[in-house]
Chains A and B, each alone.
Chain A
Amino acid sequence: MSDASKSNALRADLRADKRKRRRARADMRFKWYGLTALGLAMLFLVFFFVDIISKGLPAFQQAEILVQVSYSESVKSNYNRAVDKRYRKLISRSWLRTIPMQLEEHPDMIGTTAEQWVLADYRVDQFLKGHEGHKLKKKYQKLVRQLQEEGKVRLAFNSGFFSNGDSKLPENAGILASAVGSVLVLLLTMLFAVPVGVMTAIYLEEFAPDNRFTQLIEVNINNLAAIPSILYGLLGLAIFINFMGVPRSSALAGGLTLALMTLPIIIIATRAALRAVPESIREAAYGLGASSLQTVWHHVLPLAMPGILTGSIIGLAQAMGETAPLLIVGMMAYIPEAPHSILAATTVLPAQVYTWSGESIRAFEERTAAGIMVLLAVLLSLNALAIRLRNRSEQTW
């Protein structure tokens, strides 16, 4: 072998080596694209939760002031007289307003005085939490600082947030009414969507003849699952409210609308669960003389139950977080008290979040974030429950 051809071969080797390295690098890069994508999604999640929690956490504490309250006879007609003029502007009007009512209920309180912790005005609250835009006047700022030194101002656990309904005064606004509304609406959704959804799935999976109509139903269900939720709102408005006369913004209107929206999710999940039950189970049941309905009811359905439950929970969680169709059927009204009937005006948690986020008073922002925290906690635990159920019941036949 000559020297020249040797060096040529060496050079070719080197080139091949270089190309190989380049390809290996490209290979690595490609893998990193995937990791970057996942990292971005993770980063967003962290940023999102940190942001929401840091905004919402302060709302779980609320400013209170220790003041001398005198329950004199004259307070009944003018509640402003109950506290010293100096502090009046620091105290929540929503609390002062309740005094005459309290005196009506407990007449023996009249004439007494008490030193007690009372709910502070939202400006004081925001000032104490160091939020910008608290709008507390300079002279009151001084007063609050002075009270703080005397230990007469504190941030206490905000139990009112869980026991009050909506209010125009941020310090008094709570999620109780909307939480009760959410439960009511969700119950109605469940009562309607789960039986109808499961029955539809049983029909399609176990009984339906293979004909045009069955195919129509199947195509239709897949389409329904992809229709934007707001169109269900239009359906609810046109059919339930305008045609059938269901009261606007009632839990019934909202529940029915959401039920129709959840239906395809439940049907698709139930069908998958039914399909996963092996044919041998059915054949064994038939062999023992069971009718087709008995087979489904006694054998197939119990085995498919975990899958059906998982699908239903996921569908209901989605319904619980849904807002758009509910806005269309009018469930964004101002509801200060928990609804007593399914025909009464109702609001739900996500709608409450929406209305609060549109309030001009800045103090509502932390309440909105706190409401979101509650909503997310419920939804994430529902989803976690569904995932656990799915993992535990994953059965290999």
Chain B
Amino acid sequence: MTASTVFLWFFGGLIPLAAMAFWLARGKALGEAAAGKRLHSLPSFHGWYAVVWLAVPAIGSAVLFSLLHLLHIVDVPGPMLLATAFALGSAGLWLALRHIHAGFRARQAVEKVMRGMLFIAATISVLTTIGIVLSVIFESVRFFQVISFWDFITGTKWQPDTAFLIGAGRDTEGVAPPLFGSVPIFAGTFMITAIAMAVAVPVGLFAAIYMSEYASHSARNKLKPMLEILAGIPTVVYGFFAAITISPLIVQIAHAFGLEAAYTNALAPGLIMGVMIIPFVSSLSDDVIKAVPQSLRDGSLALGTTKAETIRHIVLPAAMPGIVSAFLLAISRAIGETMIVVMAAGLRPNLTMNPLEGMTTVTVKIVEALTGDQEFDSAFTLAAFALGLVLLIITLILNIVSTVVVRKFKQRYE
């Protein structure tokens, strides 16, 4: 019995059973009511009470068995799992039916369970974070057992070609050892991020200033969705556009100036990534600019300043913490952006300051390592998780700093 047939049988059996439990319990409650007794809870709550008593033991035992199976402690065969689950469920149902009588507070019992379910749903988000952190850390630890952490952080050469030999346990004598120096990869990431920010910050900020300070209400309502279209375009589409249209364009323009540019230059993905981030910067800045109290503007204008002077000397300084935190969030988005760089940037790590040369990024290397046909255990694929760990740490720091800054800013004007 495969996992999916067990799954199918389980829910195929559970749903009719639950319906039956609902009708049985509701019927019993209705019977009490018909006998002239006053019910404490509505009959349907009695029904749900029985469903809970059926489903919780059944699902609980099934989940427990699956967990035991996943952790390789006990291997429970499918039919046995089904039999146990349904037996426990039926026992629960029998108990529940015995509880039901006119004065029974079924609603309170059911609502307690529902609150519990809401709480469990809320913990899933925490589990997701734990899952991300654990999955990245576990594999990273395995990576750092092979490659020293110091070499990874400070090395300037990324040559993992021979890593599969170690993974396969083969003789590595006479072969150049694989090098996992991540400096050129991070240099490429920061270069492309810097280009993106050079586009997104001025355009996004000025667009936000115009929309919040100058534009009429109706113009604003037209301009905002237009910027939102930029945010709605999938990154794979931006990547295609950068690789097929912008990159050749840049090569041609560079050629016209007598410069050599690679087709995998950093400029094309950087520019397009900047465009992608514009709506992100503008909507966040828009929010903080609008949060600056009107009294500050009025005071400044009353002293005879022009509108531009008010914005430059009063509004922007007041909004600065919020704007800075928007920039930090934009940076973290640019660093983690994947598809644009996978499609338009290079694969070869290159330590250079020239944006016309090809260079690679953290995310490109992660995708390259995990979509290849290498063994999962080789240092080459594990390196992806080490890079992911660094990426996670950087984005978390940026995010936390920006949250703290924004909270301080909001407190000031509240």
Contacts and interface: CB of A to CB of B under 8 A. Distances in A.
Interface of A: 23-24, 26-27, 29-31, 33-38, 40-42, 44-45, 48, 51-52, 55, 195-196, 199-200, 202-204, 207-208, 216-217, 219-224, 226-235, 237-239, 242-245, 260, 263-264, 267, 291-293, 317, 320-324, 327-328, 330, 332, 341, 343, 350-351, 353-354, 357, 365, 368-369, 372, 375-376, 379-380, 383, 387
Contact of B240 (A317, A324, A368): A368
Interface in B318-335: 329, 332-333, 335
A200 B336 contact: no
A263 B214 contact: no
A102 to B, nearest CB: 35
Q: Is the interface of B mostly helix, strand, loop or mixed?
A: helix
Q: Is the interface of A mostly helix, strand, loop or mixed?
A: helix
A199 B118 contact: yes
Contacts of A379: 232-234
Interface stretch (B18-26, B180-188, B199-207, B346-354): B199-207
B275 interface: yes
Chain B interface residue number, banded: 35 or more
A244 B123 CA distance: 19
B337 A45 contact: no
A220 B278 contact: no
B86 to A, nearest CB: 23
Contacts of B115: 203, 207, 293
B122 A217 contact: yes
Given A328-B367, A372-B240, A41 B203 contact: yes
B70 A245 contact: yes
A45 B240 contact: no
Contacts of B311: 30
B111 A293 contact: yes
A37 B213 CA distance: 14
Contacts of A217: 122-123, 125-126
A323 B235 contact: yes
A300 B210 CA distance: 37
Interface in B294-310: 306-309
Interface stretch (B96-104, B155-163, B392-400): B392-400
Contacts of A234: 132, 135-136, 366, 370, 384-385, 388
A182 B346 CA distance: 28
A223 B400 contact: yes
Contact of B370 (A207, A221, A293, A328): A328
B128 interface: yes
B392 A227 contact: yes
A383 B367 contact: no
A203 B388 contact: no
Contacts of B205: 37
A133 B226 CA distance: 36
A195 to B, nearest CB: 8
Contacts of B337: 228
Contacts of A29: 308
19 contacts: A23-B309, A27-B307, A199-B122, A200-B125, A208-B122, A217-B125, A231-B136, A234-B132, A238-B138, A242-B376, A245-B70, A267-B125, A293-B115, A321-B235, A322-B234, A324-B235, A354-B339, A357-B343, A387-B225
